[in-house]
Structure 1
Amino acid sequence: MRLKSSVFVYSSPTIVLAVLCVAIIWQPNMASAQGVQTPPSLQNNASAPQTAAADPRGSIGGGQLPRTANQEHRVYDLRPYTGYLTKHDHPEQAIVDWVLRETGTDVWFTAPFGFLSADRDQLSVYHTREMHEMIAGVVDRFVAGEKDPQVMNLRVMTVGNPNWRSRAHLMMQHVPVDSAGVQAWLLSKENAALVLNMLRQRTDTREVQSLDMITYNGQTEKLARTRGRNYVRNIKPSPAGWPPYEPETGEVEEGYKLSISPLLSTDGQTIDCVINASIDQVDKLKKVQLDLPLPNAQVHRAQIDVPQVVSWRLHERFRWPSDMVLLLSCGVVASPERKQAAVPLLNMEMFTGTTAGRADALMFIEFRGRASENLTTTPLAPQIATGVGGSNRGRY
């Protein structure tokens, strides 16, 4: 340890004041000798190389997007379309849906790198120039197309015998369909009226549903008509003790559900339409006998039901001239509308467990233009089919 001392003398005629200041200076080598280390925060490590630890979740790309295929980033203004749909939640989702239907989903999860993001005001896309041309065509059908609500007339009918085709064949133009068992035809509006009149003259024809559905260009509307059918699914011990067993009932929902998403071309001459339909019906209740033990060593006999359900599904995209009518036939399937007995006590289904329900299900879809030019009365409001959750799976 070394001491440095400094003496400051102040003099005056009467007093001399001396102040002795002693400064003790610790030398670094002395601190090291006694084992005192400099704190890490005070150490000068500017010259030490910095090594970033590897992040197991991924690496940082340096702020640059890959351009292996000359990708471009473009932003599309959606406000000319979404500004009209003030009562719709997330109207931009319809644009995303149709873009994915046009491009497919694989191109967004494989090379080359790209992304697609949307909010109510804009659609942000990063992809190749060819992909942008396709996307621009879809977006243009929304922002430069029809903004007013449109009318789609839907008519669901069942015909007991499919031989109606023999008279209507020459008035219909066949359209290829991918779904098994489904047939489709295009008819002029005049021929469609003739076929409808011919079907109404048959005794085995039943008109299940006929309504004018109000749709906005590209948006999806849903329609459903279902009802529950009860059955005995299990026999369980009775908590009261007598009778010893009691039935546990279940319910099968039967009927039809339909969702439709029409998209007009910019000039209104062509319409693309995604149709998703399902029919479920209990064809028969199979009876099963159960022998259940009793405390007195006897047997209690009970009966449960096993539903025999007939189902049919359609998920197709069609394109046709907007001045024509699309006719779909689901084939001879479970009838979407089961006729109820006029007098419940005479309902033989209670005893036989069967359902008379085989018919050729037909669906007429006609575009009628703007709602303001077609509707003179309030249209029938479709019953919305609500599902669990809001997942996008199966949308495309």
Structure 2
Amino acid sequence: MRRNPPLFASAPAATPGGVRTTAIIAIATIAMLISTESIFAQGMALPPSSVSRSQPPSTQPQGGQGGFMPRAADTPPSLQAVPNQNTGVGGPGGQLSSGGQLPRGAGQEHRVYDLRSYTGYLTSHDRPHQAVVDWIVRETGTDVWHTEPFGFMSADRDELTVYHTNEMHQVIAGIVDRFVAGDKDPQVMNLKVMTVGNPNWRSRAHALMQHVNVQSPGIQAWLLTKENAALVMNLLRQRTDVRQVQAVDLIMYNGQTEKLASTRGRNYVINVKPSPAGWPPYEPETGEIQEGYQLELSPLLSVDGRTLDCVINANIDQVDKFVPVELDLPLPNQQVHRTKIEVPQLVSWRLHERFRWPSDMVLLLSCGVVASPDRTQSAVPFLDFGAITGTTAGRADALMFVEFRGKASQNLTQVPVAPQISSRVSAPNRGRY
């Protein structure tokens, strides 16, 4: 059996140098034993990727005895560094798949579409290529870009980059051709918004209109030839309960979106709070509601100009009345201060739908008997009984005529400026599809 050598080996004592060598070996051995016992007493040393080693020396705490480092259990979780647990070759939170190559299980193809022949004309538009992306998503839907098979789409002012299946590329190519090969001159879209007090106008105009199915509940749509549209317009103008809210020619580029808004603010007492001056004891806190209509139109012509696709987004908000609520508030002298706040009663309707019709016809939309998109105001403010009573006379059949009139250069009519009384600030969102 092999025996372990002794820790202290005997050395010849013949010379003084041998004694000094033995002493040095003994001291080194004792220091090694002490260091080993300290390691076994405190546990194994932290790996280089540990929390304490990952911090730079300049950030180590200086307090404590001998540079003592607090344990992880003594450190708040928000101050603890997260150790790197990535075992793959990818970046943080992911791994490279298929050697960094894009998946092609469904036969995906990478293609680049040139947009410069379209965006080159829109020098005054900030992001003209966004319209191309919007219309592609309207045609394909959003699910095909977030589910299998894998694909992506990206665009800048010069080109559109798409990675998807061959079937999807055929759909995208058809949309892109309507931009780059279609008419690039500015077009004219005529928009008329009218209100009719009684919906019985349909009895005389029914034979002149072709009904169209609509997905939005409560919305009706018809197609009319331009001759029949003129006849229907003449029938409406003969009525005493018809009011034309808006009539405007919108100069638009193919595929771009144009906004039209007419809103006004209505103030009301939303809350009552203690007065900092002490008298009167309470003061009202007012709020504001934007009342009116907002319209967005985005037309897209076919390459031959015979068919028109148009996305219409309409929002109408109206204050029907303000409902008063009585409040009894305490006073320092044990009395009660009586005041009131107001709760708005709103009537609104929404339309966000895509229509397709021949460009030589007129689209007529009816939203039913809903809140009137425009509230009449008295010429003399003192006689404005609606503002005095807090009510709004406003139920009407809202009608919208949408007509494509061709190139702006071929229309010699003067384009009126749409009124922009006030416009609600809208946050960016992805609800435009």
The normalised TM-score by structure 2 is: 0.78
Matched residue, 1:314: 351
Spell out the pairing of 1:119-268 with structure 2 (5 A cutoff).
119-268=156-305
Q: Which residue of 2 aligns with 1:43?
A: none
1:10-58 per-position Cα deviation (integer Å, ceiling 9, x unaligned) = xxxxxxxxxxxxxxxxxxxxxxxxx9xxxxxxxxxxxxxxx86675511
Identity within the alignment, %: 75
Residues 259-338 of structure 1: matches in 2 within 5 Å?
Answer: 259-338=296-375
Structure 1 residues 295, 385: closer, same or farther in 2, change over 3 A? closer
For 2:387 and 2:143, the matched residues in 1 are separated by 51
Rounded to whole Å, the distance in 1 between the matches of 2:88 and 2:222 is 65
Partner of 2:96: 60
Shift of 1:136: 0.2
Match of 2:140 in 1: 103
2:130 to 84, 93, 97: 93
How far is the alpha carbon of 1:65 from its aligned partner?
Answer: 1.3
1:52 and 1:284 map into 2 onto residues whose CA distance is 63
1:134 match: secondary structure:
helix
Measure the CA separation in 2 of the matches of 1:282 and 1:229.
8
Amino acid at match of 1:209: Q
**Does the 8 Å CA contact 2:89/2:96 hold for their aligned counterparts?**
no
Aligned-partner residue type, residue 351 of structure 1: I
Question: Which amino acid is the alignment partner of residue 326 of structure 1?
Answer: L
Q: 1:373 to 1:385 in 2, by over 3 A?
A: farther
Q: Where is the helix percentage greater, Structure 1 or Structure 2?
A: 2
Query: Which deviations, in whole Å up to 9, do the C-alpha atoms of 1:76-124 show, x marking residues without a partner?
Result: 0000100000000110000000001111110111111111010000001
Seen in structure 2, the aligned counterparts of structure 1 residues 110 and 147 have a Cα distance that, compared at 3 Å, is: same
- Secondary structure of 2:305's counterpart equals coil
Q: Where do 5+ consecutive residues of structure 1 fail to align? A: 1-34, 36-50
Structure 2 unaligned regions, length at least 5 = 1-31, 33-86
1:395 aligns with 2:395: no
- Quote the RMSD (CA, aligned, Å): 1.6
Is the 2:187–2:253 contact (alpha carbons within 8 Å) kept by the matching residues of 1? Answer: yes
Distance verdict in 2 for CA 1:63–1:53, change over 3 Å: closer
Q: How many residues align?
A: 346
Per mean C-alpha deviation after superposition, the further-off stretch among 351-360 and 325-334 is 351-360
Whether the 8 Å contact between 2:290 and 2:424 is mirrored in structure 1 is: no
Take 2:278 and 2:157, find their aligned partners in 1: how far apart are those partners? 62
Please state how far the C-alpha of 1:240 moved relative to its aligned partner: 1.5
Which residue of 379, 384, 391 maps to 1:342?
A: 379
Q: Distance in 2 between matches of 1:213 and 1:239?
A: 51
Is the alpha carbon distance of 1:184 and 1:72 closer, same or farther for their aligned partners in structure 2, counting shifts above 3 Å? same
Normalized per residue, the structure richer in strand is 1
Query: Could you tell me which amino acid in structure 2 is paired with residue 310 of structure 1?
Result: V
CA contact (8 A) 1:223 1:385 kept: no
| 1:288-342 per-position Cα deviation (integer Å, ceiling 9, x unaligned) | 1111111111111101110001110000000000000000001000001101012
Q: Partners of 1:392 and 1:231 in 2: how far apart?
A: 29
CA distance in 1, matches of 2:109, 2:423: 40
Q: Distance in 1 between matches of 2:252 and 2:425?
A: 20
Deviations 1:232-254 (A, max 9, x none): 11111112211111111111110
Distance 1:388 1:328, change over 3 A: closer
Kindly indicate whether the alpha-carbon contact (under 8 Å) linking 1:333 and 1:361 is maintained by their aligned counterparts in 2. yes
Give the AA of the match of 1:78. L
Residue identity matched to 1:174: H
Q: Distance in 1 between matches of 2:390 and 2:88?
A: 72
1:379 deviates by 3.6
TM-score by length of 1: 0.85
Q: How far did residue 352 of structure 1 move?
A: 2.2
